[in-house]
Structure 1
């Protein structure tokens, strides 16, 4: 699967630590991702589409990690998908 990343994404894959939001730019939290999975999302791209994550993102400013949330979305998806 091709990775969908925001424009400010770096290649640094540091440890995933989930905070209040998984996607801070669009206020998508872990429960929103779980809900998307329960509503039929089969992959990360469908989760992004269903939750609105990564739309009009400015991760360098909004995300406390200062980087793209894509790897966090993947982590949460893999954690909760069956």
Structure 2
């Protein structure tokens, strides 16, 4: 797993709760991540590249959890990557 995370990275021990968006800063949904996987994204890093997640992130303000979305992206990727 890559160490690429946003500047306000969270404590990865926190429970993952997916809301309206997985990445609130760039309005990336779980369906966007599923689409990226279905279109050939084979790594979390590729999903981030394809969806635009985590670009210009300000998670502490935009994410209702007040934390980085990286662990949520990983969770959704693992959930749907078969």
Q: Between Structure 1 and Structure 2, how many residues are aligned?
A: 82
Distance 1:13 1:59, change over 3 A: same
User: Given the alignment of the two structures, is residue 78 of structure 1 paired with residue 73 of structure 2, yes or no?
Assistant: no
Counterpart in the other structure of 1:34: 34
Distance in 1 (CA, whole Å) between partners of 2:38 and 2:17 is 23
TM value normalised by structure 1: 0.96
The runs of at least 4 aligned residues of structure 1 exceeding 2 Å deviation read 10-13
TM-superposition CA deviations, 1:60-79 (whole Å, max 9, x none): 00000000000000000000
Deviation at 1:11, TM superposition (A): 3.0
Unaligned runs of 5+ in 2: none
1:12 Cα offset (Å): 4.4
Q: Displacement of 1:38 after TM fit?
A: 0.3
Tell me the residue number matched to 1:52: 52
The answer to whether the 8 A contact 1:13-1:71 is kept is no
Computed over aligned residues only, the root mean square deviation of the Cα atoms, in angstroms, reads 0.9
Q: TM-score, normalised by structure 2?
A: 0.96
Structure 1: 5+ residue stretches without partners: none
